[in-house]
A = this chain, B = another copy of it.
């Protein structure tokens, strides 16, 4: 159960409302690391506040409440980050699909792989552009957050992209070899 720590981590960067946290999950965190919807986030914020790990620091229009992490929350987050479990829980549907790809015949597998190659080509291009734009920015605490994470996301994309192209080439060579087997 990592949701509370994900929330504490985001609040440690800067205070936010539940609504803003929800959007952070949709954009960055949820794409690579941990997804959660507002229906888990709001109750969890209440629990964190009840436990003294977060607190409401500001109330805005439309009942918006800005939460900040407390010193106790910061300590909890630090402990959690410094004591990782041996085997972390992994559940990634995209990766699962890649692992099961060989259950398809090569023609079908190629369709899927080409789609992956295309979308990761695009993803790499986008993320590289974003990185170049922010390359000049200072590297202090809160901003460092985005940069470490962005670099991680980019390298992840590049790895999948490289793998997809490698797999395509491999499958194509195999198919080519089948077709050309009769004439040496």
Contacts and interface: CB of A to CB of B under 8 A. Distances in A.
Interface string A80-103: 011011011111111111111111
A158 interface: yes
Interface residues of A, number: 65
Contacts of A74: 103
Nearest to A94: B88
Given A81-B103, A101-B148, A158-B159, A95 B174 contact: no
Contacts of A163: 151-152, 155
Given A84-B115, A88-B93, 4 more contacts: A9-B96, A33-B96, A78-B108, A81-B104
8 contacts: A6-B100, A13-B103, A32-B90, A32-B99, A34-B99, A35-B90, A85-B93, A155-B163
